[in-house]
Chains A and B, each alone.
Chain A
Amino acid sequence: EAEWLESGGGLVQPGESLRLSCKFSGFHFNVNAMSWVRQAPGKGLEWVSSITNDGYGTHYAEPVRGRFTISRDNSKDIVYLQMSSLRVEDTAIYYCGKDVGATNGWVDSWGQGTLVTVSS
């Protein structure tokens, strides 16, 4: 069974940067695409970004495009989300998830989430 260790969340000021990490175990990491989804307090789910299994394909939701960068290190079984120029509206729980396939698809299992708070 897949297990995750998410880290990197915290309190930052607007304009600052933060890098989230999500380390997986229990499956062949380099087979699956990976995704990040966020949930602002009291709000619904918002897809943020996905990366193909080989790391060459990346996609972003419009609100984060140009500010966030998703990447992965298949030798370490880790997926990252580098967040720059953070805004108050980026405040959310960020969940990493394992896609079913190598490219675009659905997430079949999720981490427990890490909280990012952007506030002055």
Chain B
Amino acid sequence: DIILTQSPDSLAVSLGERATINCKSSQRVSSTNMNYLAWYQQKPGQPPKLLLYWASTRESGVPDRFSGSGAGTDFTLTINSLQAEDVAVYYCQQYYDVIRTFGQGTRVDIK
């Protein structure tokens, strides 16, 4: 199975500052310029919410302060100008393989 490792496990960022979350895959999840990676946000007591797919395409309705980048085995989720409502756990997930896997999650709090 493909293993996704996120870093850091948690971070605290001041309101208005940038948060950066990394996701490293144990093998390439990219092919022919397509990056088979999604990012989700989960708040306490709620199901996950899709933020990005194809590593960098924002889901409809997701604020543009959320952006994704990367290719191959290394990906990044960036939250620009962190807002109070962004406090959550963020997960990357690969769909390159039919056996899908999630990263372990990164908790984002306000400093």
Residue of A nearest to B89 (CB): A44
Whether A44 lies near B102 (C-beta < 8 A) is yes
Instruction: Tell whether B50 is near chain A: CB-to-CB under 8 Å.
Output: yes
Whether A45 lies near B40 (C-beta < 8 A) is yes
Chain B residues bordering chain A, tally (CB within 8 A): 23
Stretch of B10-18, B71-79, B80-88, B93-101 that contacts chain A: B93-101
Whether B47 lies near A110 (C-beta < 8 A) is yes
Instruction: Tell whether B7 is near chain A: CB-to-CB under 8 Å.
Output: no
**Minimum Cβ distance to chain B for residue A52 (Å):** 10
Given contacts A62-B1, A106-B50, whether A44 and B98 have CB atoms under 8 Å apart is no
Given contacts A44-B105, A106-B50, A106-B53, whether A59 and B99 have CB atoms under 8 Å apart is yes
Docked complex: A25-82 residues within 8 A CB-CB of B: 35, 37, 44-47, 50, 57, 59-62
Question: Which residues of A are interface residues toward B (Cβ below 8 A)?
Answer: 35, 37, 44-47, 50, 57, 59-62, 95, 97, 100, 104-113
Whether B98 lies near A50 (C-beta < 8 A) is yes
Given contacts A47-B101, A47-B102, A50-B100, whether A104 and B95 have CB atoms under 8 Å apart is yes
20 contacts between A and B (CB under 8 A): A35-B100, A44-B91, A44-B102, A45-B40, A45-B42, A45-B102, A46-B102, A47-B102, A50-B100, A61-B1, A62-B99, A104-B95, A104-B100, A106-B50, A106-B53, A106-B95, A107-B48, A110-B47, A110-B49, A111-B47
